[in-house]
């Protein structure tokens, strides 16, 4: 009991004063030739754009945390900072636990390779070893319901089949931190339920889930806490219903 209570207050993701800045060239310079000419003329200038602006946030073990906000508010940037893809310009990101990001539909698959080969390729991209993939291979095939097609090149797969395979590979290992960026909007109804069931199962075993969604319904239903981002600033964090209400009021 004590252990459980302790577990709940342990931080898994800790962002302190995190900013991410994009330099957007005021004019598009696509070639080295152009760059050299402009540089000589002293005409290279950038507009600074803060995708994340001094954000402080702590996410705790075992919670489902939702991020909402308009397009361009910085939701995806926040996930990227957490998953080591982007290094922040200011501040500090600390993770306590292995992170399992979900790839976009079809990313990291090679169309000419079979489902079987793609499972290994995709697992390798997510940082797993051969042995780790051998252990979960059958599990992945079962979960994705692709047993009959596993040796066919995946260019013959439908987009639903891609999504099933991608989700099955990414969640095959118990994730300490699971990152979900709108991924559940793909696949049919029954498979979506299966995915949600798996996420709940992991969560009950101690996983932390961080999700981004435009579906306010799923944020209210699934999340323990939610945060609202606006123009790179974290406006509010708290009860999902209140955060969603505030988001709706502002739009």
Partner 1 sequence: MENQNRVTYDSAKQGPHALSELQDLFRYRFLLEQLIKRDLTTRYKRSVLGIAWTMLNPLGTMLILSFVFSNIFKATHSYPVYILTGLTIWNLFSQASMATTSGLVWGGTLLKQIYLPRTVFGVSAVGTGIVNVLLSLIPLILVMLITQTPIRITILFIPIPIIIAAMFTLGVGLLVSGLAIYFPDVADMYNILLQAWFYLTPIIYTEEIIPKQFAGLFFANPMYWIVRLFRLPTYFGVWPQWADIWPALISGLSALIIGWFLFTARSDEYSYRV
Residues contributing to the site for partner 1 (CB under 8 A): 3, 6-7, 10, 22, 30-33, 35, 61, 80-81, 83-88, 91-99, 101, 103-104, 107-108, 110, 112-113, 117, 120-121, 124-130, 133, 153, 176, 206
In terms of CB distance, is 43 or 110 closer to partner 1?
110
d(CA 219, CA 212): 8
Question: Quick one: DSSP state of residue 62?
Answer: T
**Gyration radius of the chain over CA positions:** 20
Distances (CA, A) of 162 to 29, 98, 126, 196: 36, 25, 16, 17
Q: CB of residue 50 vs partner 1: minimum separation in angstroms? A: 13
In terms of CB distance, is 31 or 158 closer to partner 1?
31
In terms of CB distance, is 18 or 243 closer to partner 1?
18
In terms of CB distance, is 82 or 141 closer to partner 1?
82
Structural contact between residues 68 and 241, judged by C-beta atoms closer than 8 angstroms = no
Q: CB of residue 193 vs partner 1: minimum separation in angstroms? A: 25
Q: CB of residue 130 vs partner 1: minimum separation in angstroms? A: 5
Structural contact between residues 163 and 85, judged by C-beta atoms closer than 8 angstroms = no
Q: CB of residue 10 vs partner 1: minimum separation in angstroms? A: 5
Q: CB of residue 177 vs partner 1: minimum separation in angstroms? A: 9
d(CA 51, CA 38): 27
Structural contact between residues 184 and 104, judged by C-beta atoms closer than 8 angstroms = no
In terms of CB distance, is 173 or 194 closer to partner 1?
173
Count the neighbouring beta carbons within 10 Å of the beta carbon of residue 203: 17
């Amino acid at each position: 009991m004590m252990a459980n209570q302790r577990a709940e207050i342990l931080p898994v993701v800790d962002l302190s004063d995190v900013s991410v800045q994009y330099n957007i060239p005021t004019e598009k310079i696509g070639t080295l030739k152009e760059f050299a000419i402009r540089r000589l003329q002293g005409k290279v200038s950038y507009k600074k754009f803060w995708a994340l602006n001094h954000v402080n946030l702590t996410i705790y073990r075992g919670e489902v945390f939702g991020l909402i906000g308009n397009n361009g508010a910085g939701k995806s940037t926040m996930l990227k900072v957490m998953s080591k893809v982007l290094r922040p310009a200011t501040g500090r990101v600390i993770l306590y636990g292995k992170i399992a990001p979900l790839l976009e539909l079809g990313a990291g698959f090679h169309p000419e390779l079979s489902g079987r080969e793609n499972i290994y390729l995709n697992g390798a991209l997510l940082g797993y070893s051969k042995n780790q993939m051998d252990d979960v291979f059958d599990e992945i095939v079962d979960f994705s319901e692709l047993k009959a097609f596993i040796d066919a090149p995946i260019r013959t797969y439908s987009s639903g089949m891609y999504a099933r395979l991608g989700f099955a590979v990414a969640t095959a290992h118990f994730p300490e931190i699971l990152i979900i960026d709108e991924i559940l909007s793909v696949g049919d109804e029954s498979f979506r339920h299966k995915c949600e069931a798996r996420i709940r199962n992991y969560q009950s075993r101690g996983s932390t889930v961080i999700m981004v969604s435009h579906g306010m319904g799923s944020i209210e239903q699934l999340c323990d806490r939610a945060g609202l981002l606006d123009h790179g600033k974290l406006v509010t964090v708290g009860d999902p219903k209140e955060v969603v209400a505030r988001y709706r009021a502002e739009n």
